[in-house]
Amino acid sequence: MITTITTVTTVTIMVTLGLTAAISIVAVGSLITLLITKELASGGGSGTAIRLARFVGVGIVPLIIVFAVIVAVEIAEVIA
């Protein structure tokens, strides 16, 4: 019984850590993509490019907050 509980706990922790890493990678990749898109769109002079730059800016702020949390958690893990 104890072996089964330990195995289930270990597997659950490993899956959770793997899911957290995958979400972190997707969030950082999305942030990089949006930052590149905003930079390229703001360089264009057309009205569509300016609207695209403003539209993309809406998603950047929450992803920067997520990035800051990821960095803070990683630093806390290193310190602990």
- Measured CA to CA, the distance from residue 7 to residue 68 in angstroms comes to 33
Query: C-alpha 61: how far from its chain's center?
Result: 12
**Quick check: pTM over 0.75?**
no
Handedness of CA 11, 12, 16, 19 (dihedral sign): positive
pLDDT digits (tens, 9 = 90+) for 33-79: 999 999 988 887 788 888 888 888 888 999 999 889 888 988 988 88
Q: Which two tokens stand for residue 1?
A: 């019984």
The predicted pLDDT at position 2 comes to: 52
Task: Name the residue ranges covered by the structural domains of the chain.
Answer: 22-79
Q: Which two tokens stand for residue 70?
A: 């990821």
